[in-house]
Every structure is written in C-alpha cells, then in structure tokens.
Amino acid sequence: MQAHAPLPNPLPSRGRGDACCRHNQSRVKSIELVFPSGLCGVIRTDNADAAFQACLAAIEGGIGTIEVTTTVPSWYEIVRGLIGTTVGKIPIGVGTVWDPGAVGEAKEAGADFVVTPVVLPEVAEACRKHDILCVLGALSPTEIYHARLAGANLVKVFPVGPVGGPEYIKALQGPMGGVPLWASGGVEIDQIPAYLRLGVKAVGLTGALFPAEALAKRDMAAIVERASRAAQAAAAARAD
C-alpha cells in the first residue's frame, strides 16, 4: 500500500447561540487539542439527565474529552449544557453519527468533533464543510485506509477489544504506522497504558467508565473514581 499525503483539516465555522460562539473565530482544532489527555469518555444511555451528570462526573475525575452519542436522548442539549457548564474548557464531541445532517447539528451545538461507527465519506465531506474534526470508524486495514482517503482526521478502530485489543493495534502499525488511531470498543482501564504506549492518539472508554449499574443507580462517585484511575493511568503512560 502506498503512503498517502496527510489529509488537510476541515475549514470555517458556523454556529447558533452562545454555546458555539467560541468556534466562530477559529479553524478546526488539532487532534492534540481535542484529546489533550489521550482519553475520551463515551456516554451511551437512554436517560438524558443521567448522561449529563455522568459526563460531569467523568470530567471531575480527570477525563479530558467527552463524546455524547446521538443515541442519548436530548444529545444536542447535553452537548450545549456541557460546553456551558465547563465554560468551553473541555472538548466535547458527538458520536454515532450516521448522516451528514447530524454534522451540522453537532456544529451548531458547539461540538469539537464528530465520530461515526463505520466509514461514511458523506459524513467526512460534511465535516470539511462545517469545519469540525472528523473521526471515522473502521476495523480492518482496508477500512482504515478508506477512512483516511475519505477525509478522516482520526480513525476510530472499533470495536478493538474483540479483535485483540493492544495486540491488534500493534499488528496494524507495520503497514499503517503513520495513520492516527483512536482505540475504542471493549477497552478496559488497565489497558490504557498499553494503547497509549503504542502511539494511539485517543482511547475511548464507554462501559469501563460509565458502567450500566452506576448510571442506573446515579452513582456518580463510582464514575469519578473510575475517571480518576483512567486519568492516572494515561498520565503515567504519557510520562514514560
């Protein structure tokens, strides 16, 4: 496989309301700015209030980036609420995006990035149009390659857990060492150092950070504790 040139970042912004004004005078953010700790908490639940509170708990524990999936009720309002509550200091993204129209909504809400489950070139094109960081989901080497060709700034290897976890990422690095990757799907907290030491740009935490039982019981202390452990593991790995 021939190497291809680095993909350009998407460009200019549009927005609605105070929540997204911080984007209107800047170009798309870099991977390093959007994922400063190398971690991203990915919230999936059918309870909007629990989702919002859980995200705040994760941030309190040290998670540097949050993804709110479109499967969460009132995800748009949650994104705006998180941006307002954190005064725009925590990068917030929108995940499980299947169509280009949702990219515009994510941008209007103030999101810093958009994530898809699979390779969707039309979503990548919408990200370029709306000036927002594009993360396309892929699993096989061929899918990862096509995600980059489609315009992904970052490729989410999903679900990485069932196919070998860190060992799978290591195997990919021979032929695809220059591709910026996000590891997600079945990742456990104790695996964070292994992924980051392999050069993964971001590690996505879903059930490991937001267990269903904690969400059901509104046990935000448990989420803070898990977030703290994850943040400490990431910091230690990045300090090596």
What is the mean predicted confidence (pLDDT) over 76-91?
98
CATH match of 18-234 with 3.20.20.70: yes
What are the tens digits of pLDDT across the range 142-185? 999 999 999 999 999 999 999 999 999 999 998 888 999 999 99
Q: Is the peptide bond before 159 cis (omega within 30 degrees of 0)?
A: yes
- pLDDT tens digits, one per residue of 37-66: 999 999 999 999 999 999 999 999 999 999
In whole angstroms, give the CA distance from residue 194 to residue 71.
29
The C-alpha angle with vertex 107 and arms to 102 and 109, in degrees rounded to 5, equals: 95
- Alpha-helical (H) ranges within 86-165 are 100-109, 121-130, 141-150
Q: What are the residue boundaries of the structural domains of the chain, listed by start?
A: 18-234
Q: What is the DSSP letter of 7?
A: P
Task: Record the pTM.
Answer: 0.88
Judged against a pLDDT cut of 60, whether residue 26 lies above it is answered with no
DSSP state of 238: H
